[in-house]
């Protein structure tokens, strides 16, 4: 399994984002819709004539909520899970659109590797120590693949995770895409004992695309992604997770793959976005609304229109 370059740059500071959105908005003079994945852009934009959509990929917390409240009157705000949307206090959510994955590009695994996998960042929020505890209690070998580039991640690994490694628990590094799918595909299950209300767990739909069921805690978006008893098991105690981890091999891997194709494909995600764009264009009486609607209409089987307005 190939590892990624640990020296690769990590994006995402305020000055870089502001410089990017300044250039981007200046360049977008002839577009139907602007879909912005930053927070700074919709606040900066000087109210262009075209509709603007922003997706929040992080948690709705007091400070970001304040920013989204300031932009919501002329910006459509998209959440990536219903649970995340439920925490958007004082923010109007125009639509909940789950992430998607190019499932056809993901190889189907056989689950014959005689181990369970953990995949994520090397942080307490992701639960690698909990995964080790669960796997050991179940008596199942565990392979851990995790991003580890920042000082806090190295420190957490050195002090908390590394002392727990052994013949039955292996850290295999940070994997590239091919290595990631190889790990997931051969695993009996993905063990995802998430310890925080994650807005959306992309690793879970990657596992499903490989045909691999997921055993996870109920935090955040997990119950929206995993169907308990069908594509995985959802429990919150170490004992229950270990018990049901041993049952994961009994679940139908073809069903996991099918759910990934129908509920979490890029085609479904794109259709959901185009439906929202058509609605926004029609609302403003702008050209293009019927074109978006006719071409991309209501193909989604998992669309969630959530016209919520949470008030503090």
- For the entire predicted model, the pTM comes to 0.86
Indicate the range of 8-17, 144-153, 197-206, 263-272 predicted with least confidence: 8-17
Closest CA to 110 of 185, 178, 182: 185
Domain boundaries, the chain: 14-100+267-309, 104-263
Name the CATH architecture for the domain at 104-263.
Answer: 3-Layer(aba) Sandwich (3.40)
In this prediction, residues 100-109 reach a mean pLDDT of 97
| 173 half-sphere exposure, CB direction, 13 A CA radius | 10
CA distance 71 to 155: 38
- At 307, is the pLDDT very low, low, confident or very high (cuts 50, 70, 90)? very low
Reported residue count of the chain is 312
pLDDT at 293: 52
- Give, as one character, the DSSP assignment of residue 58: S
Residue whose C-alpha is closest to residue 144's, from 111, 184, 97: 184
Q: Please check the confidence at residue 107 and state whether its pLDDT lies above 60.
A: yes
User: Which phi and psi (to 5°) does residue 77 adopt?
Assistant: -105, 125
């Amino acid at each position: 399994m190939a590892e990624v370059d640990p020296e690769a740059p990590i994006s995402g500071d305020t000055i870089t984002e502001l410089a990017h959105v300044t250039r981007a908005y200046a360049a977008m003079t002839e577009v139907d819709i602007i879909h912005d994945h930053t927070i700074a852009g919709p606040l900066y934009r000087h109210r262009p004539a075209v509709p603007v959509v922003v997706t929040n990929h992080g948690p709705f917390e007091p400070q970001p909520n304040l920013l989204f409240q300031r932009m919501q009157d002329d910006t459509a705000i998209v959440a990536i899970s219903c649970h995340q949307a439920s925490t958007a206090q004082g923010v109007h959510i125009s639509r909940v659109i789950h992430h998607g994955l190019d499932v056809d590009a993901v190889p189907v695994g056989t689950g014959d590797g005689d181990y369970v996998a953990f995949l994520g960042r090397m942080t307490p929020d992701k639960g690698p120590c909990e995964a080790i505890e669960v796997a050991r209690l179940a008596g199942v070998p565990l392979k851990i693949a995790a991003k580890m580039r920042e000082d806090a991640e190295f420190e957490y690994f050195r002090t908390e995770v590394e002392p727990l490694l052994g013949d039955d628990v292996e850290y295999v590094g940070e994997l590239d895409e091919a290595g990631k799918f190889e790990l997931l595909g051969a695993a009996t299950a993905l063990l995802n004992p998430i310890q925080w209300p994650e807005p959306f767990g992309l690793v879970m739909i990657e596992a499903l695309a490989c045909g691999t069921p997921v055993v996870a805690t109920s935090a955040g978006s997990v119950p929206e992604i995993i169907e308990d008893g069908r594509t995985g098991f959802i429990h919150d105690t170490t004992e229950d997770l270990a018990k049901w981890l041993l049952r994961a091999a009994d679940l139908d891997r073809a069903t996991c793959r099918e759910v990934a194709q129908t509920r979490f494909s890029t085609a479904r995600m794109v259709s959901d976005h185009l439906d929202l764009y058509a609605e926004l264009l029609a609302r403003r009486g702008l050209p293009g609304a019927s074109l978006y609607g006719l071409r991309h209409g209501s193909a989604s089987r998992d669309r969630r229109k959530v016209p919520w307005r949470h008030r503090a």
